[in-house]
Amino acid sequence: MAPPLEPLGRRFDQASLRQALEEAGFRDVAVRVERLDVAYADAATWWASDWSHGERALLELMSEPALAAYRTAAFQAIQRCREHDGALHWRPEVIFAVAAR
């Protein structure tokens, strides 16, 4: 079994993002939250996406056997997550801000 992976960066909520920007000297800070809907046609499409952004760093820390085991388990779990349209949906909450300097 692979060891637990450490978070790669700081996680913000609306209040902490606003505070960090104000402490950095920004003014007129406006923070919003939106929920995205990212649809994957199948598990292979999801897997390719995982290798195209920040999660890649975590995957690259795994040994080959651990990565293979993770992929197999993930693909099995993902098949149970298909929605009525047949796709796999990921609906992350995105927090973003606009501010002036």
Asked whether the beta carbons of 23 and 98 are under 8 A apart, the reply is no
Average pLDDT over residues 35-41: 94
φ/ψ (deg, to 5) at 13: -105, 180
Percent of the chain with pLDDT over 70: 91
Tokens of 8: 């790669």
Model pLDDT for residues 55-80, shown as the tens digit of each residue? 898 899 999 999 999 999 999 998 88
On the question of pLDDT at 2 being above 70, the answer is: no
How is the chain split into domains, by residue range? 14-100
d(C-alpha 58, C-alpha 97), whole Å: 26
pTM: 0.62
